[in-house]
């Protein structure tokens, strides 16, 4: 069986974990945490980075930083993972779901302004498959209405957006805040893990306090204050040094990992373009302002029946593809709260999108050889 995902190990993860253990500092915010955070700040232009135990935790930190209160409204795509919404629901927010674009699962920026009310506090664009949302349009709307933007960049490490000014900027560096994931299914992994990127300097000091359980402990260790105590709300968001040490081994090999994954993605696209046209199956689209980081290669079938047959046939042939999210607006939890709006494209992607295996050691031709014998009538 060709699995959907297989975590890639560089060979130095256990070496760095052993070093962290021997250092006597394994509880977090030690040498490896700081090395990872500095790497992201230096290489991607984030003002401040804080590792977290998950992308979910990073999003929850963002919700606290924005002072989300019961009744505040937060706009986000319906076609996303539940963590995107949960982080704000936990603070009492009303989630307003937007539809996807017709050409991509990303949020349809043209619908956003119609969803804004006096209660709107934030927009949370999700860079699906590591492909940029139209950030110029989103930031323009946010600035016009004086609301915040939190980029859900869980899948978007080492991916970029080229703005109308011609400048190329890393995803996660454009909104006020951003959240990343290092889950084992992502390009760069630590098993579980995430990161909050802070691009608005107003939030840096408080972010450190929230990260450290609501204390000014980080400032104390830097010598900024002579003692530390409880000064705000917060939680235990920072990961252990063991997680950070694992992540550092991955970051040292970022370029190599990305080169291989993007090579797989390009092979899929070239090998499947004629086959996809024959079966009226859509391949991933890249807007002119976006780059591809090789996170995911997906197909969009004509309907759920075609997708089900395709998945069944591939599994019979030893390949394990998977579908993705069910639209959150139609979920068991949220459906009673959703208004009457029909989110056509979100539901279409929920019914029709299927993801092909994607990991460093994959031989993509083994997958395409099986796909090219797909029988559909």
Residue-wise pLDDT for 195-233, tens only, equals: 999 999 999 999 999 999 999 887 767 777 767 889 999
Of 24-33, 210-219, 368-377, the range with the highest mean pLDDT is: 24-33
Tokens 């930190």, residue located: 61
More confident residue, 351 or 336: 351
pTM of the model: 0.96
Residue-wise pLDDT for 245-274, tens only, equals: 999 999 999 999 999 999 999 999 999 999
Residue-wise pLDDT for 93-106, tens only, equals: 999 999 999 999 99
Chain-centroid distance, C-alpha 120: 22
Q: b/e map of 264-287 (b: 16 or more CB within 10 Å)?
A: bbebbeebbeebbeebebbebeeb
Query: For residue 261, how many other CB atoms are within 10 A of its CB?
Result: 24
Q: Annotate 267-331 with DSSP letters as a single string.
A: HHHHHHHHHHHHTT-BPP---TTB---SS--EEE-SSHHHHHHHHHHHHHTTB--EE-PPPGGGS
Residue 293 contacts residue 157 (beta carbons within 8 Å): yes
More confident residue, 219 or 107: 107
- For residue 218, what pLDDT is reported? 76
Percent of the chain with pLDDT over 70: 98
CA 63 to each of CA 70, 86, 274: distance values in angstroms, whole numbers, following the listed order: 12, 10, 45
Domains of the chain from N-terminus onward: 13-251 (3.40.640.10), 254-371 (3.90.1150.10)
* pLDDT over 90 at 336, yes or no: no
Categorize the per-residue pLDDT at 7 as very low, low, confident or very high, splitting at 50, 70 and 90. Answer: very high
- For residue 226, what pLDDT is reported? 67
- For residue 251, what pLDDT is reported? 98
Which of 74, 75, 80 minimizes the C-alpha distance to 93? 74
Which of 130, 125, 119 minimizes the C-alpha distance to 94? 119
Q: Is residue 186 annotated as part of the catalytic site, yes or no?
A: yes
- For residue 376, what pLDDT is reported? 61
- At 300, give phi and psi (nearest 5°): -120, 110
Q: Which of 25, 47, 94, 186 is catalytic?
A: 186
- Which residues of the chain form beta strands (DSSP E)? 48-52, 73-77, 94-98, 120-123, 148-152, 160-162, 168-170, 177-181, 194-198, 298-300, 322-323, 353-355
Residue-wise pLDDT for 122-165, tens only, equals: 999 999 999 999 999 999 999 999 999 999 999 999 999 999 99
What span, in angstroms and rounded, lies between the C-alpha atoms of 283 and 255? 25
* pLDDT over 70 at 21, yes or no: yes
What span, in angstroms and rounded, lies between the C-alpha atoms of 245 and 12? 9
What span, in angstroms and rounded, lies between the C-alpha atoms of 37 and 196? 10
Which of 46, 84, 77, 64 minimizes the C-alpha distance to 181? 84
Task: Write out the two tokens for 227.
Answer: 């003692």
* pLDDT over 90 at 47, yes or no: yes
* pLDDT over 70 at 315, yes or no: yes
Q: Would you say the C-alpha torsion 62, 65, 71, 76 has a positive or negative sign?
A: negative
């Amino acid at each position: 069986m060709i699995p959907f995902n297989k975590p890639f190990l560089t060979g130095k993860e256990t070496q760095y974990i052993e070093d962290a253990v021997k250092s006597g500092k394994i509880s977090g915010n030690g040498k490896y945490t700081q090395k990872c955070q500095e790497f992201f700040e230096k290489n991607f232009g984030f003002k401040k980075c804080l590792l977290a135990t998950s992308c979910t935790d990073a999003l929850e930190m963002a919700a606290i930083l924005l002072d989300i209160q019961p009744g505040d409204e937060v706009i986000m795509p319906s076609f996303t993972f539940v963590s995107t919404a949960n982080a704000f629901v936990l603070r009492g927010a009303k989630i307003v779901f937007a539809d996807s674009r017709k050409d991509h699962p990303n949020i349809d920026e043209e619908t956003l302004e119609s969803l804004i009310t006096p209660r709107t506090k934030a927009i949370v664009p999700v860079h699906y498959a590591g492909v940029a949302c139209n950030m110029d349009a989103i930031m323009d709307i946010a600035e016009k209405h004086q609301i915040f933007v939190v980029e859900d960049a869980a899948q978007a490490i080492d991916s970029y957006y080229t703005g109308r000014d011609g400048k190329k900027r890393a995803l996660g560096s454009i909104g006020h805040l951003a959240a990343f994931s290092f889950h084992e299914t992502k390009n760069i992994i630590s098993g579980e893990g995430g990161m909050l990127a802070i691009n608005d300097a107003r939030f840096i000091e408080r972010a450190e306090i929230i990260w450290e359980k609501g204390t000014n402990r980080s400032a104390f260790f830097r010598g900024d204050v002579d003692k530390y105590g409880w000064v705000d709300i917060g939680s235990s968001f920072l990961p252990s040094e063991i997680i950070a040490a694992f992540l550092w081994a991955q970051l040292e090999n970022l370029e190599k990992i990305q080169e291989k994954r993007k090579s797989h993605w390009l092979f899929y696209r070239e090998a499947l373009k004629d086959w996809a046209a024959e079966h009226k199956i859509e391949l991933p689209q890249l807007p002119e302002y976006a780059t591809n980081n090789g996170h995911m290669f997906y197909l969009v079938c004509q309907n759920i029946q075609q997708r089900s047959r395709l998945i069944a046939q591939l599994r019979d042939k030893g390949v394990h593809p998977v579908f993705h999210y069910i639209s959150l607006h139609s979920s068991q939890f949220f459906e009673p709260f959703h208004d009457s709006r029909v989110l056509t494209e979100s539901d279409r992607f929920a019914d029709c999108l299927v993801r092909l295996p994607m990991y460093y050691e994959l031989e993509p031709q083994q997958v395409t050889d099986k796909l090219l014998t797909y029988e559909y009538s």
